[in-house]
Amino acid sequence: MIDNRDGRFSFGRKQPHLAKQTNRWSRTVVLGVLFGILNAGCGGGTDTFATILVKGKVTYKSQPLTNGTVTFSPVDSQKCRPATGQIEFDGTFVMSTVKFGDGVMPGEYKVAIESLKAGSDEDEKRETGQDSGIPKKYTSFTTSELQETVSESEGNKTVEYNLEGDI
């Protein structure tokens, strides 16, 4: 074997500079493999599951909600993931599972909607439990009675929630 530093043969002599290079290379390979394994397990997008674009509009007493969240909770959490949509100023929303606008996995869902009265503070709502801009029954999956079925055969889906009742 040739010692690269001084060009002499080395029979049985330790070569610390080669050991350091091998250790660095080994660490790089091991870290690269671990990073690849961990990254693959994180569900880095919709590549690992099919989603359907779901968008819609929420109104209360025929007026669009100007803020809030629509949440889909899967009936069978083993087959689907929850999804949410931020309600925009005109009452529209687009559902997201992992990243914005990626859609909803096919399946059956219970739906809950939250919205604050205009001018309400989110922190105030958390502290008092008040200032909902819609009837309380719509804010819980168990009482809202809203349900959606998302299927691949239907393709993209548009939904409308016309909320009624007193606050």
What are the residue boundaries of the structural domains of the chain, listed by start?
A: 1-42, 46-163
**Distance between CA atoms of residues 99 and 46, nearest Å:** 8
Nearest to 114 by CA among 60, 51, 52: 60
Which residues, 6+ apart, have CB-to-CB distance to 141 below 8 Å?
A: 71, 73, 110, 111, 112
Q: Do 104 and 154 touch, CB atoms closer than 8 A?
A: no
Question: For residue range 112-147, what is the model confidence (pLDDT) as tens digits?
Answer: 999 987 655 555 555 545 567 899 999 999 999 999
pLDDT of residue 12: 54
**Distance between CA atoms of residues 1 and 148, nearest Å:** 71
Mean pLDDT computed over 15-41:
49
Supply the DSSP symbol for 139.
G
Q: Is 142 exposed, middle or buried (0-12, 13-18, 19+ CB in 10 A)?
A: exposed
Kindly state the tokens that stand for 102: 């990626």
pLDDT of residue 52: 95
Question: For residue range 32-46, what is the model confidence (pLDDT) as tens digits?
Answer: 554 444 444 333 444
Continuous segment of H or E residues that includes residue 34: helix 16-40
Q: Which CATH number applies to 46-163?
A: 2.60.40.1120
Q: What is the pTM of this model?
A: 0.66
Q: Do 73 and 109 touch, CB atoms closer than 8 A?
A: yes
Question: For residue range 70-112, what is the model confidence (pLDDT) as tens digits?
Answer: 999 999 988 899 999 999 999 999 999 999 999 999 999 999 9
